[in-house]
Amino acid sequence: MHPTRRQFLALSTVALFPLAGSAQAPLNADTVPIYVWRGSGHSFGGFSAIHLFPNGLDFIALSDRAFVYTGQLARDAHERITGVTTRSIHQLRDPEGNPLSGPPGDSEGIALGADGTLYVAFEGGRRTRVAAYETPDSPARILPRHRDFRHMPGNGGLEALAIDAQGRLYTLPEESPTTSFPLFRFENDRWTIIGHVPARNGFAPVGADFGPDGNLYLLERRFRVPSFATRISRLRPGRWDQPETLFETAAGTLDNHEGISITRTRAGRLRATIISDDNRFFLQRTEIVEVLLD
């Protein structure tokens, strides 16, 4: 049996990340703090998406095995993260109300509607879909699929999901057969391709969120044995083909970051909160990193 992409990513990072360290450590020359979230239990780890509420404290985190965590961040006087408290853990369900597991539960992206509806993107070839949940414990309501979803690769489908102020969903695949990534928007009960984001320097989109400024922010990842590089780009509506790079790390600076949420600090500065997928591999870790974008 050939190793999966996830197993390959995990095995190839053996030399990168230390087993121990303080919760707060400097991010090389960028001086951006890394908070390491440590947890236990079969549901912990593999976080692929995060939503941070406007207060900068309450959050929803999604694992790639259909588990939803709700919790709260603790911050010091400088708003640096100093702790994480888990409030609840939920296992997402299929339309019949059965708990999701295995390949059908490969949940990768989240977006929260103004009415509290939780939208989740799942990747996996013909299983690629976006589902809506009234609550994390409700049965799934599967949104109509775009015809292109069924042709997406099992490990390169929908990972990024975002919702704008008008309640419209946006997504794009992690892999594309062309030199750009199609950007899908869901409105009037259907998906349409509204633009294409150019592929640049080997990075692939793995997370997305609309900021309070109305712009779409992409979290992008590049994997080259044996390390990851991370990038955050801004897309202005109507100029989807003109991404602006705001933040980029050298390979090996961070773990495998896949989720992003955009909020403002108490001082009004734009802040990106990103979370890493540790692949549930003991030499990787769950990092929460925050970057000021203005």
- pLDDT for residue 260 is more than 50: yes
**For 168-192, what is the mean pLDDT?**
96
What's the structural domain count of the chain? 1
- Structure token digits, residue 98: 């059965």
Q: What range does the domain containing 96 cover?
A: 5-292
- pLDDT for residue 17 is more than 50: no
- pLDDT for residue 18 is more than 60: no
Distance CA 88, CA 4 (A): 30
Distances in whole angstroms, Cα of residue 79 to Cα of each of 60, 63, 87, 264, 290: 19, 25, 21, 11, 10
Q: How confident is the model at residue 147 (pLDDT cuts 50, 70, 90)?
A: very high
Question: Is 134 within 8 Å of 104 (Cβ atoms)?
Answer: no
Domain CATH for 207: 2.115.10
Q: How confident is the model at residue 22 (pLDDT cuts 50, 70, 90)?
A: very low
Within the chain, what is the greatest distance between any pair of CA atoms? 53
Q: How confident is the model at residue 152 (pLDDT cuts 50, 70, 90)?
A: very high
| Residue indicated by tokens 């609840």 | 88
